Every structure is written in C-alpha cells, then in structure tokens.
Structure 1
Amino acid sequence: MAAAAPQAPQAQGRRAAIASCMFMLVLATASLSAAQTIPKPAPKASPAAATPGLTYTIDNTPNNFPITFTDFAAVPKPAACKSGPRTKRLPATKDTVHWGYWYGGAKPAAVVASGDTITVEMLTHQAGDAADLMIQGDKPVEAIYQWTKDNMTIPFRGYSGRGDGKHILTGPIHICGAEPGDTVKIEILDLYPRPNPLTNKTYGSQAAARWGWQFKTGFASGLPREVVNIYELVKSPRAGDSTIMYAAPRFSFAATQDDPANVSDIVITTPCQPDEYSVPRTYPGFGYTLKNPDRLYPAIGKVPCVNGTQTWPRIVLGGMVRPNSAPRSTSVNGKFRVPINLHIGNIGLAQPISIPFTSTTPTNTGNNLDNRRLGKGATLYLPVKVYGGLLQMGDCHAAQGDSEYDGTAIETSITGDFKITLLKAAT
C-alpha cells in the first residue's frame, strides 16, 4: 500500500490555528461544559447511520424525553446554492427569527456561499421591559412580540413550544457546501445599533436578576429584589455623526412581586399555552410531540392556567411585555455613563439532534457564549455538525463585563455585517 503524501505545511498550520482558536474559545467560556450533556451522533461508519434517513433513539437524556438522531444526508439543499441569488441582507421579522431554541430541522431564512458577506438584524428579547421605547412604533418588532389570546405571531416559542423561550435568534443561514466535519469561519466586520424607526433612538435593558450577584448580596435596604435598568445608547451630538458614545441610564423599576410596594403594577400576564406542542417535519426525519408540562419552568414549576391566563411572579422568560404603568424611578437618569462594547451574546450552528434545544445553553458549536470579545473585528471558528451549518445569531449587548454576573448585560438590538467562509475538512 502506498504511503499517504505528506501534508503541506500551510495546510497543517491552518488546521492547527483553527483547532487552537476553537480550544481557546471553549476554555474562555466556562459554561461550555454544559455542552457535554448533549449526546453526540454515532460515527458515520456505524450501521445505524449508514442508510440515509434512518433514525435511532437514545433515551435517558437530561430532560427526560427521547432524542432521535437522523442521517443528515437526507436534508435537502437550497436551490439558491446552485443558481442563486444568495442573501445579502437578512432583516429580523416574524418569518426570519426563532424564539428561544436551536433546531437542526429549521427551514433556512437565508442562503450564503463561502466568501459571501451578509448583513443581519438582531433583536433583543428584553424589549418588553420598556415596550413604549423598544417595541411600539417598530412594526417588525411589534409583530414578533404579538402574543394575545387570539394571536401569537410566532406560535412556537422555546424548545418546548409553550412560551418558555429566551433569545430571539435571526436565521438560520444555510452555508452552501457545509458538511459535518467542516469548519465555518465567521468574521464580524461591523456592528451598529438598530434604532426604533419611530424615534431613531436605541435603548437597552439590564436586569439585576435573582440569579445574579446583586440580588443574592442584597441592596442597601436589605431587601432582596430584582431591578431592571433601562439605558439609552447616546449618539454623538455632531451633525451627521451616528457614532454611539456611551450608554446612559434613564430609569429603573422593581421587577419582582417579592417587593411589597406596587405589586399589582408589575405583574405580567399572558394567555395560557397548551401542555403539548408538536414540531412540524420541516425536513425528513424531524418531528416530535412533547408532553412534559411539569418540568417546563424549573425555576418556578408549572405556571397554572386560571381563566385563560398565566400570571408570572418575576423575571422568568424573554419576550414578555411589561405594563407601561409599572412605577419607574428616574433617580438614576444621567448619573453615570457606561462605555459601549457592542457584541453578540448568542451565535452558533445547529446541533445534529432532531428536536429543538434551548437557546440558553452554550455548546461545542457556539450558541449562548455571552463573550464580550465577540464584537467588531472578531473572528469565530465553529465546527459544522449538520449540512448547511444553519447559522443563527442574536442576544446582542451594548456592554457586558467578563460574564453576566449580575443577571444580564445591557440587552439591545444590533445590526451586523459578517463575512462567512467555509473551510472544508481535510480529505
């Protein structure tokens, strides 16, 4: 048997650089250990995955419902990969976002080829904290947040489908020619705020939430409570200059019923969601029905449905619209400035499992990294696990420390320019 030809030093160097970058990203994001809970598909050589479309099931998963893997060779390729046109701009609309989950069977919202650049709008899931500033008057955002008894514009929110979603993710973007074993190089060329077109202003929300340091330590009053702070991203005063200089606090409010004052004004209610939801078979081999109502909201248990309404006692989910009548304190208005560091909190590729999984989990394909270094000028290398890669992004921040240690970053809406390059696996 002839010996294999030695690899070129350049190829070896490139693969080593890619491996090094990916390894450092995993080390830099401590919570990526959660990715170990996601089962990996069987090797291609195994009998179970040898036949296109054949599925097999692994039980005993962390969420106590079965996961079915599929041979992803059965997934169809978008026609645009052959003849174009490919996507140059991807706006965030009710038809181009997913709320609170990643799903390897999602229909692509955009198609790009290696070397393409694309502009993507990304919306904050915390706009409901100040709906008058961040939702009202912005028609695409109004449509996405629509959730009434008779109309839920995005009917599948969260990996269970019952409204338990967190992040609004734009996509997915199908990358032509991407196959398991390849690597996608994502260059963040630019990031800039996405203002409400009604006011031409951009706002953000930051929560000192109960899982954060401030809540657990206690305020000066000794009262543990959740507090939401609303910031304005202040632009340069120079004519024609849209540069954002800093984030300035405008008002704050208590966000939990644990605070005995004005409890009735901060309660959030939503229409009830059914205990069972089904995912359509967008692609061959995908589709499931979840019957697991008692474990949907582990922080507070099942939220009862009373007279067609669910009542939420505190910050639990993204996407809920808080009443504008909630008391707002302006004592913080203009008292300090926060340096701007626009970055993307949640960006990644799909996992090779046939059900949605929560967007709150970081994985070995990226996803909820919350790394403040993923801003303009950064390059991210991600491994491809499904055909087309299926890139999604969202959960953008105006500023954050080395983590979301106090609850959240300053959550805001951002538009970004990206260059996507496919690095094929060695053969």
Structure 2
Amino acid sequence: MTNIQKSGRTIHVHRNQRHAFWDHSVEPIDTIQSGEIVEFDLFDSAGGQFGPTSTVEDVAKLDFALVDHVNGPIYVEGAEPGDTLEVEIVDLQPATWGWTAVIPGFGLLADEFTEPALKIWQLEDGADGWAEFAPGIRIPLAPFCGEIGLAPAAPGPHSTIPPYRHGGNMDTKHLTKGAHLYLPIEVQGALYSMGDGHAAQGDGEVCGTAIEAPMHATVRLTVRKDIQVQEPQFLTSGPLTVRTNTAPYYGTDGIGPDPAEATRNAVRHMIDHLVRTYGLSRNDAYMLCSVVVDLKLCEVVDMPNWLVAALLPLSIFS
C-alpha cells in the first residue's frame, strides 16, 4: 500500500491508483472502518488523454484501453456478501475544464455520426458554476461520477463499460452531492471503486459522453446489515434537476414497437429541432442532447408501441 495519505480518518486515493476492470482479485489499496470518509482524485473518463488544449484530431488517437478506469478498491471492514454498502456523496468538485466528444463507433446514433467531433468546455465557479456551450446557451453544472461500484463475486475481469447489479458505469446524473447510493455487496470487504467524473449530463448520455471532467470526489462508506438490495437503489439530495427545472421544456417523441428504436427516433427529432430552431450543426446538436436532454419513458403498457420522449430544458437558452 503505497502513496496513501491519511488526514485523521480520511483516506486519500490518488488518480494513479486505478484499475481497468471490475475484478475481486484486485488488491485493495487501503482498509477503512464502516462510516469513514474517502477522498478520490479522479481522471476524466479518457484517463488523461484529453486536456484543455485538445483538438478534434486527438479523438482519433484515443486509446480505449485507458477509458473508464476506476480508482480503488477500498476494503470496508465488516462488509460481507448479502450486506448493502451505503455510499454517501459528501462532495464533488470538478476541474476547471471538461470535454464532450462524438467518438466514431460509439453512442446511440453511432451509424449516423461517423465523423469525430470535440467540444472543450471552460467550467466556471466550481460545482455550482456554469459552462457555456455557445453564445446564449449556458449549462448549469451538476457534478457526479458515472462509475461507482463494488467488486463482483464472479471471477473477473469484467469490463467497466456497462452497468451491473453491483454498480459500475451507471451514469446516473442524480447521484450528486448529498445523494445516497445503496449497492449489494458480493464479496468480503465490498471493494469499492469509482471514477468517470461528469460536470453535467442529460438522462441517457446519448452520444456516449457528457461533460467529462477530472473530479475530486468525497464519499462516506457505510455497511448496512439492516437492509438488502438486489440491484442499485438511491436517494437523491432533493428535487431532480433543480438548476435546469426552472422553465418550460420542449419534447420530441419516438414511437414504435422497439424501445431502442423509439429512443433513437426521439433523439433524431430533437437533433432536427435544435438544428432548425437554434442553428446548431448536427454534431453540436447531438453533443448538446447528451449533455442536457433527458430521455423519459412516457408509455410502456399500450402494446405494441412504446413512447419515449426527449426533453430539452429551455432554461439553458438566454
């Protein structure tokens, strides 16, 4: 166990203390008591391959072997299979910059967006600040971490790209400061890791990237033997999306028997709306959808068709 700094009973995990897979054979970097706090310094989801001066040419150089690494794991004393780990999000502080990209072969509409695009953001005023997408379009920051999870009981390695019952790449934008996440423990010590800092994201993250940003994350890890969860559950810190839910929304629907295709159609229609109404390029409209547009299941019982809506908060436009 090297490069660990302790201040009282706060463990500090450095950004280079990371691993590429969920695997219970990964040695923990430190051990804490239930209820103690851990601080993480995290790379962005690209593992430091982008920076404030990156250009679209850097997207083609992206090494996917370095994408979505997680930092940890932390062994929690007293955690046993069948228990629940309560993760309290104590604080989240993004860096002063972030990025959003269209990465060929990645995202909901990968077949339609085959050329790379990159947006470098300047993030103002920390966690409660703003990021300007274009003149007249300002995004309120709502930091969270996309990757939060525990080691699985099944022998590894397991990719960090999808979500699992033990957590993983959940990309749940409501896990902001003050939220509580409950994860089922599958191995002794729980073996908690996290990563993939996001400064803001729409529900669905349709192009596959949010405002990706390095993050300083502080969490409290508590073993709960009084409750059991089969898959992740969470308690938000308050009403959903309070910083964007201040004005009307514009919605576009996708309807059909295949929920995935209905979702794609809802997003296609929203991209068309943004291009037509606000003069955005299709790439910029797609990235803006990933950052602020929320996908909602509006109808799931009147078969054969599903109805999915893409909701655009008009509060981002001045």
TM superposition score normalised by structure 1? 0.46
Q: How does 1:232-243 map to 2 (within 5 A)?
A: 232-235=122-125
**AA at the equivalent of 2:124:** V
Equivalent of 2:93 in 192, 197, 201:
192
Q: What is the distance in 1 between the residues matched to 2:215 and 2:82?
A: 31
Instruction: Give the aligned partner of residue 73 of structure 2.
Output: 172
Report the 3-state secondary structure (helix = DSSP H, G, I; strand = E; otherwise coil) of the residue aligned with 1:393: strand
Instruction: Give the aligned partner of residue 226 of structure 1.
Output: 116
Report the 3-state secondary structure (helix = DSSP H, G, I; strand = E; otherwise coil) of the residue aligned with 1:129: coil
Q: What is the distance in 1 between the residues matched to 2:168 and 2:10?
A: 22
Q: What is the distance in 2 between the residues matched to 1:130 and 1:243?
A: 19
Number of matched residues? 213
Name the CA shift for 1:105/1:131 in 2 (closer, same or farther; >3 Å). farther
Conserved 8 A contact 1:86-1:113:
no
Name the CA shift for 1:398/1:129 in 2 (closer, same or farther; >3 Å). same
Unmatched runs of 5 consecutive residues or more in structure 2? 55-62, 228-318
Q: What is the distance in 2 between the residues matched to 1:217 and 1:337?
A: 27
Q: What is the distance in 2 between the residues matched to 1:229 and 1:85?
A: 37
Q: How does 1:357-372 map to 2 (within 5 A)?
A: 357-372=158-173
Instruction: Give the aligned partner of residue 144 of structure 2.
Output: 343
Deviation at 1:216, TM superposition (A): 4.5
Instruction: Give the aligned partner of residue 209 of structure 1.
Output: 103
User: In terms of Rg, which structure is larger?
Assistant: 1
Instruction: Give the aligned partner of residue 129 of structure 1.
Output: 50
Deviation at 1:104, TM superposition (A): 0.3
Report the 3-state secondary structure (helix = DSSP H, G, I; strand = E; otherwise coil) of the residue aligned with 1:171: strand
- 1:91 is aligned to 2:16: no
Q: What is the distance in 2 between the residues matched to 1:213 and 1:424?
A: 39
- 1:104 is aligned to 2:104: no
**AA at the equivalent of 2:100:** Q
Q: What is the distance in 1 between the residues matched to 2:83 and 2:208?
A: 35
Conserved 8 A contact 2:24-2:191:
yes
Q: What is the distance in 2 between the residues matched to 1:105 and 1:164?
A: 19
Conserved 8 A contact 1:103-1:351:
yes
Conserved 8 A contact 2:13-2:72:
no
Name the CA shift for 1:87/1:367 in 2 (closer, same or farther; >3 Å). farther
Equivalent of 1:248 in 132, 152, 158:
132
Deviation at 1:355, TM superposition (A): 2.3
Q: What is the distance in 1 between the residues matched to 2:226 and 2:210?
A: 36
Structure in which a larger fraction of residues adopt strand = 2
Conserved 8 A contact 1:101-1:165:
no
Unmatched runs of 5 consecutive residues or more in structure 1? 1-77, 79-83, 134-161, 196-201, 219-223, 236-241, 250-331
Name the CA shift for 1:356/1:165 in 2 (closer, same or farther; >3 Å). farther
**AA at the equivalent of 1:97:** R
Conserved 8 A contact 2:13-2:38:
no
Name the CA shift for 1:216/1:343 in 2 (closer, same or farther; >3 Å). same
Deviation at 1:353, TM superposition (A): 2.5
Report the 3-state secondary structure (helix = DSSP H, G, I; strand = E; otherwise coil) of the residue aligned with 2:89: strand
Q: Deviations 1:128-162 (Å, cap 9, x if unpaired)?
A: 233757xxxxxxxxxxxxxxxxxxxxxxxxxxxx9
Deviation at 1:168, TM superposition (A): 2.3
- 1:120 is aligned to 2:4: no
Conserved 8 A contact 1:181-1:425:
no
Q: What is the distance in 1 between the residues matched to 2:64 and 2:209?
A: 20
Name the CA shift for 1:113/1:347 in 2 (closer, same or farther; >3 Å). same
Instruction: Give the aligned partner of residue 378 of structure 1.
Output: 179
Name the CA shift for 1:356/1:131 in 2 (closer, same or farther; >3 Å). farther
Report the 3-state secondary structure (helix = DSSP H, G, I; strand = E; otherwise coil) of the residue aligned with 1:164: helix
Deviation at 1:417, TM superposition (A): 1.7
Instruction: Give the aligned partner of residue 8 of structure 1.
Output: none
Q: What is the distance in 1 between the residues matched to 2:83 and 2:110?
A: 43
Conserved 8 A contact 1:180-1:387:
yes
Report the 3-state secondary structure (helix = DSSP H, G, I; strand = E; otherwise coil) of the residue aligned with 2:50: helix
Instruction: Give the aligned partner of residue 411 of structure 1.
Output: 212
Q: Deviations 1:294-338 (Å, cap 9, x if unpaired)?
A: xxxxxxxxxxxxxxxxxxxxxxxxxxxxxxxxxxxxxx5x56321
Q: What is the distance in 1 between the residues matched to 2:213 and 2:52?
A: 13
Name the CA shift for 1:399/1:217 in 2 (closer, same or farther; >3 Å). same
**AA at the equivalent of 1:349:** L
Name the CA shift for 1:243/1:376 in 2 (closer, same or farther; >3 Å). closer
**RMSD of Structure 2 on Structure 1 (CA):** 2.7
